Amino acid sequence: MSFEIRPLTDDDVPAFRQEVSATFGYDTDLEDEAGAARFGAVFDNDRMFPAFDGHEIVGTGGDFAFDLTVPGGSRVPTAGLTIITVRPTHTRQGVLTAMVREHCDRAREREEPLGGLWASEVPIYGRFGYGASTVMSDVKLDARFAGRGGSEEGVTVRLVGVDEAKRLLPGMFDQVRVTRPGMYSRSEAWWKHRIFADPEAHRDGASSLRYVIAESNGGAVGYALYRQKSNWSTLADGEIRIRELIPVTASGYRALWHFLVSIDLFPIVKYWNNPIDDPLHFLLRDGRAAETKISDGLWTRLIDLPAALEARTYERDGSIVLRVEDEFCDWNDGTYRLSVSEGVAQCEAVVAEPDVSLPVATLGSLYMGGHSAQSLARVDLLQGDVDSVRRLDDLFPSYPAPWCHEIF
Ligand SMILES: CC(C)(COP(=O)(O)OP(=O)(O)OC[C@H]1O[C@@H](n2cnc3c(N)ncnc32)[C@H](O)[C@@H]1OP(=O)(O)O)[C@@H](O)C(=O)NCCC(=O)NCCS
C-alpha cells in the first residue's frame, strides 16, 4: 500500500465525509443538503490533509483554527486536530503519523503555538507529543435523592426559543470562555451549524435542544442547553441530558442547577462534561447522590514551545530550567530556562544543567495547569529532585481548573 497526503478539493468533499462516517461506524446521507452545508461552513478545505491511495481517500484529518484560552486569560492561536480516521484496510502503516506530521508542520508555518484535540482512545496521541491536559467529570444524579427544588433569590430562569437563544448565548459564552483555560472560540458558523442546527441524528432518542437562561436585574447571568428523554417505568423516570452549562455568575450557576434538578417527570440529571472543580456536590442537599466518572478532556501539544510558555501566566515569579525531549517536533527539543518576573514569563534556550527533564507530552499535560508535576513524577513522566518538581507546582497550576466545553 502506498499513500500520499494531498489537498482536499471541493470534488473530494463527499468522499471525505463518507470516509469519516464509515470509520466512526455510521452512514452519511450525501443527499442531505443541510449536512453538506454544515460541513462546508465549519470545515475549511485549506486546513484538511486527507491521505489518498491512488484516487481513493483512505485517511481523513484536518484542524480548526481556534483561539484557546490559557492560564492568565490570553488567547493563543491553536490548531484543533479533528476528524482523524484511517480506513481499516490501511491502518498501522503510518497514515495517521503522516497526517499528524502535516498538522504540526502547518501549525508551525501558521505560527500557531499550540495544538489541541479530543482523543477517541488514550494510547494514540502521546507518541506525537500530545498530553492530556484538562479533566472532566461525567455526572449522573437522581434528584429524588440529591434534592429537588430550591431557587435562587433575585434570579429568574426562563425557557427561550431558538431565536432568542441565538441573540443571548454567544455573548455569555464569550464572557465566560476568556476566564477559563481550555475553552476555545466559536465562530458564527459554529454557533449556527454545530449548536443551533440540532439535527435529529444528534439527539440520540431525546428531545430537541431546550434553552434556559438565568437572569438577574434584567441581565443574563448564565445559560444551559439540555434535552429531555422521557422514561416511563412505574415511576416517571425521565432524564435531563445537559449538553452545555455556562454560568456567568455564581448566582446564575446556582439558579441553573436548581432548575435542572427540579423538572417534573425528569429526576435523572446527566451532564457528561462537568468541570472538575465544579462545586455541585456542595450545592445539592445530598452531594453523594451525584455519581461522577472522571476522564480526560482536551489534549494539548506545544508546537512552538517558547511562544506557548510565554503566552500564559504563572502563579508566582520564579525560574526553572527544563530539559524537554521532543522527537516529533525536533525544533523544540532542547534545554530552556523559564523565568517569571513581575508576572511576565520569558522562555529561552540555554546551555545549563536542567532542574527537571520531561518529554514534551508531559509539558502538554502541565501546560494548562490542571495536573500536578508531583503526581506526574510519581509515574515517572518527569524527572527532577523533589524541590525542583515542587517549584514546577508553584508555577504551573491554574485556578479555575482548565476545562474544555465541547468535543471537536
Ligand atoms: C487511530 C487511527 C487513526 C490510527 O491510524 P494508523 O494509520 O493505523 O496509525 P499509524 O499507522 O500512523 O500508527 C502510528 C503508531 O501508533 C500506534 N497506534 C495507532 N493507533 C493506535 C490505537 N488505536 N491504539 C494503540 N496504538 C495505536 C501504532 O501501532 C503505531 O505504533 P508504532 O509506531 O509503535 O508502530 C486508526 O486506527 C483509526 O482510524 N481508528 C478509528 C478512528 C479513530 O479512533 N480516530 C481517532 C479520533 S481522535
Q: What percent of the chain has pLDDT over 70?
A: 100
153 and 291 fall within a common domain: yes
162 and 232 fall within a common domain: yes
248 and 355 fall within a common domain: no
Quick check: is 102 in a domain? Answer: yes
Q: Label residue 34 by pLDDT band (50, 70, 90).
A: confident
248 and 350 fall within a common domain: no
For ligand 1, whether the C-beta of 121 sits within 6 Å is yes
Q: Of the candidates 260, 295, 330, which is a domain's last residue?
A: 295
Q: What percent of the chain has pLDDT over 90?
A: 96
263 and 340 fall within a common domain: no
CA-closest candidate to residue 340, choices 392, 398, 302:
392
The predicted model gives 311-321 an average pLDDT of 97
CA-closest candidate to residue 262, choices 120, 369, 147, 155:
147
The predicted model gives 230-243 an average pLDDT of 94
Model pLDDT for residues 342-378, shown as the tens digit of each residue = 999 999 999 999 999 999 999 999 999 999 999 999 9
Q: Please provide the average confidence, as pLDDT, over all residues in the chain.
A: 97
pLDDT score, position 234: 87
pLDDT score, position 266: 97
φ, ψ of residue 312 in degrees (nearest 5): -100, 170
Query: Which H or E element spans position 227?
Result: strand 219-229
φ, ψ of residue 98 in degrees (nearest 5): -65, -35
Quick check: is 406 in a domain? Answer: no
Query: Which of 124, 127, 408 to mutate to test ligand 1, by most ligand atoms within 8 A of the CB atom?
Result: 124
Can you name the residues that pair with 322 across neighbouring β-strands? Answer: 336, 356
103 and 204 fall within a common domain: no
The predicted model gives 380-387 an average pLDDT of 98
Quick check: is 122 in a domain? Answer: no
SS3 84: strand
Model pLDDT for residues 140-193, shown as the tens digit of each residue = 999 999 998 788 999 999 999 999 999 999 999 999 999 999 999 999 999 999
CATH number at residue 321: 3.30.1050.10
Q: Label residue 207 by pLDDT band (50, 70, 90).
A: very high
Query: Which of 81, 91, 130 to mutate to test ligand 1, by most ligand atoms within 8 A of the CB atom?
Result: 91
273 and 332 fall within a common domain: no
Model pLDDT for residues 252-309, shown as the tens digit of each residue = 999 999 999 999 999 999 999 999 999 999 999 999 999 999 999 999 999 999 999 9
The predicted model gives 211-225 an average pLDDT of 97
For ligand 1, whether the C-beta of 21 sits within 6 Å is no
108 and 150 fall within a common domain: no
Q: Is the pLDDT of residue 242 over 80?
A: yes
Residues sharing a CB contact under 8 Å with residue 375, sequence separation 6 or more, in sequence order: none
How far apart CA 220 and CA 257 sit, in angstroms, is: 15
Quick check: is 404 in a domain? Answer: no
187 and 237 fall within a common domain: yes
pLDDT score, position 149: 76
For ligand 1, whether the C-beta of 91 sits within 6 Å is yes
Residue 285: all three cell numbers together: 442537599
Quick check: is 370 in a domain? Answer: yes
Quick check: is 74 in a domain? Answer: yes
Q: Which domain holds residue 288?
A: 137-295
212 and 271 fall within a common domain: yes
The predicted model gives 105-131 an average pLDDT of 98
Quick check: is 214 in a domain? Answer: yes
For ligand 1, whether the C-beta of 94 sits within 6 Å is yes
Model pLDDT for residues 331-345, shown as the tens digit of each residue = 999 999 999 999 999
pLDDT score, position 255: 97
Residue 156: all three cell numbers together: 429568574
**Count of domains forming the chain:** 3
Q: Is the pLDDT of residue 218 over 90?
A: no
Q: Of the candidates 268, 295, 322, which is a domain's last residue?
A: 295
Quick check: is 77 in a domain? Answer: yes
Residue 178 CA to ligand 1 center (angstroms) comes to 34
Residue 84: all three cell numbers together: 482523524
Query: Which of 4, 82, 92, 128 to mutate to test ligand 1, by most ligand atoms within 8 A of the CB atom?
Result: 92
Q: Is the pLDDT of residue 114 over 90?
A: yes
CATH number at residue 208: 3.40.630.30
290 and 334 fall within a common domain: no
The predicted model gives 20-34 an average pLDDT of 92
Q: What is the pTM for the complete model shown? A: 0.97
Q: Label residue 87 by pLDDT band (50, 70, 90).
A: very high
Question: What atom in ligand 1 is closest to the CA of residue 125?
Answer: 16
Q: Is the pLDDT of residue 1 over 90?
A: no
The predicted model gives 60-85 an average pLDDT of 98
Please give the biggest Cα pair distance in the chain.
71
Q: Of the candidates 243, 273, 295, which is a domain's last residue?
A: 295
Q: What is the DSSP letter of 195?
A: I
How far apart CA 385 and CA 97 sit, in angstroms, is: 34
12 and 62 fall within a common domain: yes
